[in-house]
Amino acid sequence: MPTAEEPRILVIANRTASTPRLLHEIGERAGTGATFTLLIPPDHGEHSDWSPEVALELVGRAAGADVASMASGEDPLDTVHRAVSDGEFDELIVCTAPAHLARWVHHDLPHRLQHLGLPVMVIAPDDAPIPGHVSQAMPETVTFALPGGGGEF
């Protein structure tokens, strides 16, 4: 069973301009013994997202180990909430487009995350800032990794 130094991390990620930073963060965290599970939320845009096979290969390569996958289900937020409530994960990393984060705020994710008390890292997009109402709505357990490796928000 993983220890506090070896967290079980759920990575919630669409393919974005920030994907290289996500993979770097996974590599860094893997060095501490972290294990990873990947959930790819459905993308309703006009472009295709990464396939689960490609995503698992890239994330697994960054982690230096096999990575589990989790189906998003009918409602990815409910899926994440159930998995965290069941004690399957110790931490979340989110790498998704700002529009997805705005939808999460609309669906009351900040309150749900605060209730769960898990640390959450949001990989900020390189090409667009996170809207102020999104970052302000997030609980204290959320950190934002800034573009260009400039630390956290």
pLDDT in tens, 1-22: 555 568 999 998 877 767 888 8
Rounded percentage of the chain residues whose pLDDT exceeds 70:
59
How many CA atoms are closer than 13 Å to the CA of 83, on its beta-carbon side? 24
What does the alpha-carbon distance between residue 33 and residue 4 come to, in Å, rounded to a whole number? 10
Residue pLDDT, tens place only, 60-86: 999 999 999 999 888 887 888 888 888
pTM for the model stands at 0.75
What does the domain layout of the chain look like in residue ranges?
8-149
CATH of 8-149, one of 1.20.210.10, 3.30.360.10, 3.30.70.100, 3.40.50.1380: 3.40.50.1380
Which helix (H) or strand (E) segment holds residue 12: the answer is: strand 8-13
Q: Give 131's pLDDT tier (boundaries 50, 70, 90).
A: low
